[in-house]
A and B are shown apart, each in its own frame.
Chain A
Amino acid sequence: DGGITQSPKYLFRKEGQNVTLSCEQNLNHDAMYWYRQDPGQGLRLIYYSQIVNDFQKGDIAEGYSVSREKKESFPLTVTSAQKNPTAFYLCASSKSDWNYNEQFFGPGTRLTVL
């Protein structure tokens, strides 16, 4: 079964701690994306990657970091510098960085900072 997996589903963190969210896809997609969603709001782009070993900042990259060492994997680290990290984090992938290519989402990680 092809798809995108994210882990963990729920994550609790103490203030001041870094935490890494996992995202894996076996769809052979080139591009991968990280979004955050706050209650009642739309998705906002954190980082994206069009190809292995390359990534770009999205609209709200401050306090986050990513890596893209493998085509299948695009982990997101939420650092202690992120002022308000409690949110629903969604990873997505698409075939390539062309127009008209839909993005497909993983089930998300719900992060709560205590």
Chain B
Amino acid sequence: RKEVEQDPGPFNVPEGATVAFNCTYSNSASQSFFWYRQDCRKEPKLLMSVYSSGNEDGRFTAQLNRASQYISLLIRDSKLSDSATYLCVVNRAAGNKLTFGGGTRVLVKP
């Protein structure tokens, strides 16, 4: 089993719709969780950290479910500019080494 697993997609989303996707992780000792966004042929950029209580940043909402070991990302009112690959990132038990999922591709269409 991979340490961090994501549905690769693509998720084809009409502009203005809501899309949500999950990521599962295998290390129950993980403490830090992030969503990064990566545009084609560019570097990953931090979208948001994921906190235990769940958190929201504008149209983006992240949730953490420790019991089932997954995190989720929800995008409301999708924009064309939201088209990207979203990387689920989990820290390892020791130190700040991160494990990256393979990414979920989202395509927002007019």
Contacts and interface: CB of A to CB of B under 8 A. Distances in A.
Interface centre among B8, B42, B43 (most CB of A within 10 A): B43
Instruction: Sort A-B residue pairs by CB-CB distance and give the 7 closest, nearest first.
Output: A42-B100, A105-B43, A43-B100, A42-B102, A97-B95, A99-B31, A97-B96
Interface size class of B (residues with CB under 8 A): 20 to 34
B49 A43 contact: no
Given A41-B102, A42-B4, A42-B103, A105 B44 contact: yes
B59 interface: no
Contacts of A103: 46, 96, 98
Contacts of A45: 97-98
B96 A101 contact: yes
Interface of B: 4, 8, 31-32, 34, 41-46, 49, 87, 91, 95-103
Contacts of A105: 43-45
Nearest to B6: A42
B43 A102 contact: no
15 contacts: A35-B100, A42-B87, A42-B101, A42-B102, A43-B44, A45-B97, A97-B95, A97-B96, A98-B96, A102-B46, A103-B98, A106-B43, A107-B42, A107-B43, A110-B41
B96 A108 contact: no
A99 B45 contact: no
Contacts of B101: 42
A97 B43 CA distance: 21
